[in-house]
Structure 1
Amino acid sequence: MGKVARYTREMISSYKEKGYWTDELTVDFWELNAERCPDDEALIDSRFRLTWSEGTRMIHRLTAAFLKAGFKKDDVILCQLYNSIALSMTRLACEKAGLLVAIVGTKFRETEIAAVLGKTEAVGAVFPAQFRRYDFFKMFSKMQGRFGHLRHLFVVGDEVPAGGRSFYDIIQTPSDREGDKGLDIQKFEPFEFTEITTTSGSTGIPKCVEWVASARLATGREYVKDMGMTRHDVVAAFSPCISGSAETLVHRTPPQVRAKTIMLEHFTPEEACRLIQEEGVTAVGAVPTHLVRMVEFSGIRDYDLSSLRFIQVSGGLLTYHLGVETETKLGCKVIQGYGGMDIGGVASGYLDAPQEIRLKTVGRILRGNEATLLDPDTLEEVPRSSVGLVTIDGPHCVGGYFRDSKTTAESRIGGKFNMGDLGTIDDEGNLYLRGRVKDIIIRGGQTIYPKEIEELLVEHPKVSEAALVRMADEEMGERACAFVVPKKGQVFTFEEMSAFLKKRQVALYKIPERLEMIPELPSVAGGNKTNKRRLEEEIQMKLVSE
């Protein structure tokens, strides 16, 4: 079952011959590092500080426990964890045990979890007893009553309710199987998919995607080249390291160069700055909202952030203005990563690029990837200098949709994955995004690209974040509504917005015709993107009630 249907023998051979893919899994680098530099620190969270050898022993203990429990090759273990050593150990042990780990975000609740359990038929789950005031054990116990195949509950925490098995007891109790080659009896073969990631996008119902270690590790090697990463780097996960560029930067890249990783369980500007200072963090995986909160943090000057080399941002709109302000206040470079949980890595920024390129593009198309731009209406190929629908394929692209060949086929045009984004590509291979096809607003036949207006709005001194969405209109078909998160203590009026955009010489039809102030932008269940569908539903309800 771990074979990726769309990976042909010729494709695999070609990617191997060209050096994009190798035979290693992520866990292989951990075991190699345990031999080469056993006492070097590898992974740190709020509870543990592990060396490569200590971490590898924990991986082996957990692998042995999975095998002893009777799990078979390609059985599925659902994993719902925050940034932590428990998350990393689970993923690595499943790789070694030949178990598919279905990774879900901590914001998923019963509806989403039930959908994933039904799709994957998971035999076990790893989760915290409680996290951020939510009772995960109660939810999974309820799920056991609905899904007979969910037989094993591994609970992360000091107190484990009856019916669960302590995750910490497993990884902290010595085992006579540490280093046992017999633990590899079910280990995944290279180029099989080893994980099932879940993406809800803005539909709410998760889709399950086949993630392949070889493709994710290949992207990690590109980061090593383009960011000059070495064993002296200290990489911190500010955003959840289960998706986007942060997944590659945090989980796949450090083991390949023997770098240290820091897991931030819950982001606050204070905790982020403390970690950078105390741990000498050099690289960070984040989303734009983290940058907003850091540049607005009044205490930022109280911390020494001089170790920080770069922040890699993905999962949302990074405006040029925010990028410049971040580089100025934090004293590091900001680069962008681009891809999708449905397909993997597409493009990435690089440190030696000029600031204009780093902050106005999502970077170069990754080496080996082939990008084609299509007319969104005719689906005919257009020149790279013209705005077109981004389609992609290559060695950084993962498998298809789990047990869903129909959706896999529908997601591709001419063999390439449809990203759903509009963009242009310059002569150096840098990708400029114009926005999502489904987010474009057609007002009386004229096109409004939300990204353009959003980037302008956040340049206003009173605006922290902004999202532009469509609202139905009988006369024009659609009009634009701006949702704005004001900076602390500020009030932003419709008149101020209109005057500001007019001063910036914005065409009148592009200026939003309604302004809504909100405390924060809603995110999708995965937590990595703004949920514009929810905003559209919210404004529609208001229009109906008025």
Structure 2
Amino acid sequence: MTNLLALHPADRVADFRARGWWTDETVQGLLDAQVAARADRLALVDPANKADLTGGPPRRLTWGELDDEVTALAARFLDLGLGPGDLLGVQLPNSVELVEVYLAAWRIGVVVSPLPVQYREHEVRDLAEQARFRVFVSCARLGDRSPAAELAGYADALPGLVHLVALGDPAAAPAALPDRVEVVPTGPASDADRAAVAAHVAEHPADPNACLTVCWTSGTESRPKGVPRCAHDWLAICWATVDAPRMTADDVLLNPFPMINMAGINGMFLPWLRTGAVLVQHHPFDVPVFLGQIAAEGVTYTVAPPALLTVLLQDEALLSRVDLSTLTRIGSGSTPLSPTMVRGWADRGIAIINFFGSNEGVALLSDPQDVPDPEQRARYFPRFGAPGVTWTTRVADWVGVRLVDPVTGAEVTEPGTPGELRLSGPTVFAGYLDGDGRPSPFDETGALRTGDVFEVAGDRREFLRYVDRAKDLVIRGGMNIAPAELEGLIGAHPAVADVAVVGYPDDVLGERVAAVVVPRAGATLTLEELVDFLRQQRIASYKLPERLELRTELPRNPVGKVLKRELRAQQAAS
């Protein structure tokens, strides 16, 4: 069993602290500092469309108001019996309430495990079997559905679950909530709340090596893996996303990425908490609402997927109607950036920052200070540790970067030879949740095997050029989809003899899902029939195939492995 109260071994903690990479900082300490410095300043803003999303008007909280509501919610969590090391499952959209849940849980030492709001019974039950959530928090309404009511229908099958909570106003639900759901309102703290939380904190002071989050990564396996992270990890990582955009307390941040993994938590949430900027939430992604928030809130920095930035840049009519005058930087990543796109935004006075990373290890970022040429910034990442080259971000001195030949195991230092990226240092995770029985993600030196292939580049060998994903992951609108999981579900269809799932390019979402199927003899299958079959398995809607191709056989190599690279190329060309 993973020790959630102490993620990293004592010798690693001592080593990294001695180097100055890890400190006594805690997330609660960051919040306390912001409240002390700017209690009356605006801190947090709800999505503009909150009334249609979860009900009720959008809210705006100062740092002092936020701190008070966090205390009240922490007291409610204590009433539910939550304490240090307990796992809290969370399924909420980006909102004021989601931020409050994180901060309230961390104030009393509870571990947050966020799940995408698109997840349904199939995914939630799988993760609950691995994590054993003690309490699960959701919302009474999300658009036209009630996640809390849906959860109530199978809550008794979730091992270890004691309480199922709907946060907010139950009147917002499409129908009356089942008795299994306990409603917890948000609001100011009472004197009794403050006293109870203060007593708990005094008895259980925050340990920066204790787990804060268990996020989930699909990888290429059919079953997601839990990635535990502590304050040591997170607060080292977030220096990268503070330094690259040169973030300050004067910034207004617009967050469209779900706060469930590295992009949302480290890209926006933790840098906001560290700097004391304003955080504006956005959900679900909607281009007119997104652009309207930039103008209405005076947003200075946001993040967006590369495909969307390309589409927006090509829509002169749309851009001419919106006010982007306050926006100066945009972070992007997850797939290679187009040099034309990066230069196009630079011509409009907006710098694109290129990020690369994963839940397990974040390291690489290409910003305008270190890589001023937009075309180089799109194509390359700094090769931290390259002889004779320095970089302005502090993580450049912390993160160990190596390329390793996947065949020989030799380190790659010359251009033109692909190698797997290996990472080490204070931003790398400690290991998967209950990882016994899984192959180790670390090599013989203790470095993380990323599975991503790069080449050395640049006149001084100062850059890394991304070559390809070694994994078959499909990334649709920033959400990871494991083909193996879908292949297992589709393979159970009575008309299917063989199947391979791959991604194909899409201008808006980056990729969509294609199922390449070999039907059983005499059987037929349509896309509609396949989607209906998968819906019956209660999987998240974003995983559903949007293209079906029927074949007599799948292309395979001499040892029988499906040639997915060939399938992806064919899908991209069709």
- CA 1:198–1:538: 2 relative to 1, 3 Å: same
- CA 1:482–1:189: 2 relative to 1, 3 Å: closer
Q: What secondary structure does 2:99 align onto?
A: helix
Equivalent of residue 375 in structure 1, options 405, 423, 436: 405
- Asked if structure 1 preserves the Cα contact closer than 8 Å seen for 2:442 and 2:448, the reply is yes
1:35 counterpart = 2:41:
no
Q: What secondary structure does 1:111 align onto?
A: helix
2:399 alignment partner AA: N
- Asked if structure 2 preserves the Cα contact closer than 8 Å seen for 1:129 and 1:156, the reply is yes
Equivalent of residue 465 in structure 2, options 429, 432, 435: 432
- CA 1:307–1:486: 2 relative to 1, 3 Å: closer
Residue correspondence of structure 1 range 40-55 to structure 2 within 5 A: 40-46=41-47, 47-55=58-66
Equivalent of residue 255 in structure 2, options 237, 248, 254: 237
Equivalent of residue 103 in structure 2, options 92, 97, 100: 92
1:401 counterpart = 2:460:
no
Q: Which moved more, 1:303-312 or 1:383-392?
A: 383-392
State the partner residue of 1:290: 308
Give 1:187 shift: 4.7
Give 1:418 shift: 1.1
Q: Distance in 1 between matches of 2:80 and 2:503?
A: 53
Relative to the length of structure 1, the TM-score reads 0.77
Q: Distance in 2 between matches of 1:414 and 1:309?
A: 41
Residue correspondence of structure 1 range 113-512 to structure 2 within 5 A: 113-159=124-170, 161=177, 162-167=179-184, 169-172=185-188, 174-178=190-194, 180-184=197-201, 185-297=203-315, 298-328=317-347, 331-341=349-359, 343-352=360-369, 353-354=371-372, 355-363=374-382, 365=384, 366-367=395-396, 368-383=398-413, 385=415, 386-407=417-438, 409-412=440-443, 414-426=445-457, 427=460, 429-438=462-471, 483-485=504-506
Q: Which moved more, 1:50-59 or 1:126-135?
A: 126-135
RMSD (Å), alpha carbons: 3.3
Q: Distance in 2 between matches of 1:143 and 1:188?
A: 34
Q: What secondary structure does 1:231 align onto?
A: coil
- CA 1:187–1:207: 2 relative to 1, 3 Å: farther
- Asked if structure 2 preserves the Cα contact closer than 8 Å seen for 1:65 and 1:170, the reply is no
Give 1:407 shift: 2.9
1:2 alignment partner AA: L
Q: Distance in 1 between matches of 2:251 and 2:264?
A: 15
Give 1:88 shift: 1.2
Give 1:332 shift: 0.6
Relative to the length of structure 2, the TM-score reads 0.74
Can you give the 5+ residue segments of structure 1 that lack an aligned partner in the other structure? Answer: 441-449, 452-468, 470-480, 488-524
- CA 1:316–1:155: 2 relative to 1, 3 Å: farther
Give 1:143 shift: 2.8
Give 1:52 shift: 0.9
1:229 alignment partner AA: M
- Asked if structure 1 preserves the Cα contact closer than 8 Å seen for 2:422 and 2:449, the reply is yes
1:69 counterpart = 2:102:
no
Equivalent residues, number:
467
Give 1:118 shift: 0.7
Q: Distance in 2 between matches of 1:294 and 1:26?
A: 36
Q: Distance in 2 between matches of 1:68 and 1:156?
A: 15
Superposed CA offset, 1:417-465 (max 9, x none): 111110024447533210112459xxxxxxxxx99xxxxxxxxxxxxxx
Q: Distance in 2 between matches of 1:107 and 1:292?
A: 26
Superposed CA offset, 1:145-187 (max 9, x none): 21252121221343262432334x2444645333752241335
- Asked if structure 1 preserves the Cα contact closer than 8 Å seen for 2:403 and 2:413, the reply is yes
Q: Distance in 1 between matches of 2:461 and 2:266?
A: 23
Give 1:294 shift: 2.9
State the partner residue of 1:111: 122
Q: What secondary structure does 2:285 align onto?
A: coil
Q: What secondary structure does 1:421 align onto?
A: strand
Q: Distance in 2 between matches of 1:432 and 1:281?
A: 31
- Asked if structure 1 preserves the Cα contact closer than 8 Å seen for 2:128 and 2:159, the reply is no
Give 1:19 shift: 2.5
Give 1:363 shift: 4.7
Can you give the 5+ residue segments of structure 2 that lack an aligned partner in the other structure? Answer: 48-57, 172-176, 385-394, 476-482, 484-501, 509-537, 555-574
Q: Distance in 2 between matches of 1:50 and 1:75?
A: 28
Give 1:65 shift: 1.1
Give 1:101 shift: 1.1
Percent identity of paired positions between Structure 1 and Structure 2:
21
